[in-house]
Structure 1
Amino acid sequence: MTSSNGERRRGRRPGGTDTRTALLGAAREVFTEQGYDGATVRAIAKRAGVDAAMVNHWFGGKEALFAEAVLQLPFNPRERIAEVLGSGDPKTLGERVIRTFLTVWDAQGGGIFAALIRSVAAHEHVALALREFFHNNVFSQFSGVADDHPEIRANLVASQMIGLGVVRYVARFDPITTADVEVVVKAVGPTLQRYLTGPLD
């Protein structure tokens, strides 16, 4: 949409869904080109031809916009992990993390997780954006659980969760693929708990 002087009009477009759709399209382009850290709300809004305030209006911020535009997730990862960290006994955190991970992805049939992994393998720029997003908004949240080796612990958690997801949803190795959630929770939870709070020597 342009004004009489040829410049794009800014602000909310007629029909909110048009603005929302334009922001999603612009976000996919900017995140792919510049990565998660390099992309700014202002740049995305400029690409969409709207005010930067529209990002917060429709998505609540950069994190949620990335999750919907690029990851196409039906949930907010940062909020979900915060819920897991803030509820229950710290000694059973590993089990709660595994249970939440499997429950969330099982509800989607594992398809979105598989698509994410394939995107990382096939597109370097997408892979960079995904790594930055998950490091900043997901796995880094686990680094403060224990006092020692925060970065190593966060990476160990990432390796366990991504590996489990690949086996269950991408490579689809039985019996992990068809195992009941609680069976996997009991088997893998203690390992994740050691990564989170146990000795790493």
Structure 2
Amino acid sequence: MTRTGERTTVTSAAVLDSALTLFAELGYHGTALSQIAESLEVRTPSLYNHMRGKQGLLLTIVRGTVTGVLDDFAAATDGLTDPGDKLRAAVRAYALRHASHRREAIVVNRDTSSLDEPHRSEMQELRRRHDHALRAIIEEGVTAGRFSVDSPALASFAIREMCVSVARWFRDDGPRTADQVADEYTDFAMRIVGSR
């Protein structure tokens, strides 16, 4: 957002960032377009130069976040063959994302169900891909005798929920850095699966 004389020039990125902040603070349903406009010091109709509507903003946030999680997972585990190494890398990337993209994580985990169909189902399917990929690593580790856990599905759920919680409490000015938290959560995850 820039000011030229008395006029405020708004960018699509600024509209999205403002929506992200307000959705994270107030929830999707608790945020009105007028509040997004007010935060940018423009009139509500001006927003339509940069978006299709509130649903479009939510979809952009959710899609960008979910594909980012999948990209992180792929980058972290690429080339790794040992299930222990893969799980460590995958969990570290996931915890780090929740420490460094807190607003996005809060919105996705709370408001994805507010998407209209078919987008809700599409985004939920993308989220399930991450769950299945993480669970597959745990199953591989159990088969190889590297992990000792009765239910890879439950272990995967516990690890994901643990990492998701980082977005709710982590602060940049807190006693631990994002990297430290990611390392500790990775150690917790290895205990959950009974790593040997």
Q: TM-score range by the shorter chain?
A: 0.3 to 0.5
Q: TM-score, normalised by structure 2?
A: 0.46
Q: TM-score, normalised by structure 1?
A: 0.45
